[in-house]
Amino acid sequence: MSDPSPAPLPSPPPLPDQGTWQPLPLRAATIAGVAGAITGAIFIGGVLGTLWVVFDLPMRWIAGPAMLLPGALIGGVFGFRRQRRTWWRLDAQGLGVRRDLMWQLETRVPLSRVQHLDLRRGPIERTARLSTLVVHTAGSRFSAVSLAGLDQADAEHLRDTLGRQLDQDDDAL
């Protein structure tokens, strides 16, 4: 006879090591690329196509819609690369976010400045198992740091870890 016990559940994927820079998942970059392509087609392609028609340039009825393709390509590349060039790190001092597309931007959120944490998941993010972590900080300028495109398990881990460290810190408000 066969054993009636169910098969063991697969173990969850290991969480990244704390203290090392972690990239966002590739599926987040793919979604950002598609969103960038749509935005680029509407804005870049729409503006160039409209100008082509307004100024009555040659082949205006063909060139106008044809401008949507370069706009979609430019927007898609920028959206994809922006997500692929974003990293996060959690260490003993707090959360770090690094973005590096054309200009480098590194944001550090010390644990003592964290007020509360939010996880946001829109319909597309839920389908792709992604989340946006919002870290609300003390102060008025740039009072929230948002990290979109995190893997759902990583976002929950970050929220729980930052929340636990915040509860243990006597200096936090």
**What are the extents of the domains in the chain?**
22-84, 86-173
44 CB contacts (<8 Å, ≥6 apart)? 67, 70, 71, 74, 75
Please indicate whether residue 63 or residue 21 has the higher confidence score (pLDDT).
Answer: 21
34 — phi, psi (to 5°)? Answer: -65, -45
Beta-strand pair 114-120/130-137 = antiparallel
Identify the pLDDT of residue 71.
87
Identify the pLDDT of residue 67.
79
Please indicate whether residue 120 or residue 112 has the higher confidence score (pLDDT).
Answer: 120
In eight-state DSSP terms, residue 171 is T
Distance of alpha carbon 115 from its chain centroid, rounded? 21
Is residue 130 within 8 A of residue 141, CB to CB? The reply is no
Identify the pLDDT of residue 11.
44
Q: What's the pLDDT band for 83 if we cut at 50, 70, 90?
A: very high
Is residue 137 within 8 A of residue 129, CB to CB? The reply is no
- Return the C-alpha torsion angle 63, 69, 72, 73, nearest 10: -120
pLDDT greater than 60 at residue 61: yes
Identify the pLDDT of residue 27.
95
CA distance 93 to 104: 21
**93-119: average pLDDT:** 90
Lowest mean pLDDT among 29-38, 65-74, 88-97, 162-171: 162-171
Helix 68-84 vs helix 46-54: crossing angle, to nearest 10: 160
**106-111: average pLDDT:** 90
| Architecture (CATH level 2) of domain 86-173 | Roll (2.30)
Lowest mean pLDDT among 9-18, 39-48, 122-131: 9-18
Please indicate whether residue 63 or residue 120 has the higher confidence score (pLDDT).
Answer: 120
Identify the pLDDT of residue 93.
85
Q: How many Cα atoms within 13 Å fall on the side-chain side of residue 165? A: 18
**90-113: average pLDDT:** 89
Q: What's the pLDDT band for 18 if we cut at 50, 70, 90?
A: low
CA distance 105 to 50: 35
Identify the pLDDT of residue 120.
96
167: left (phi over 0), alpha (psi -120 to 50) or beta: alpha
**99-121: average pLDDT:** 90
Q: Is the whole model's pTM more than 0.85, yes or no?
A: no
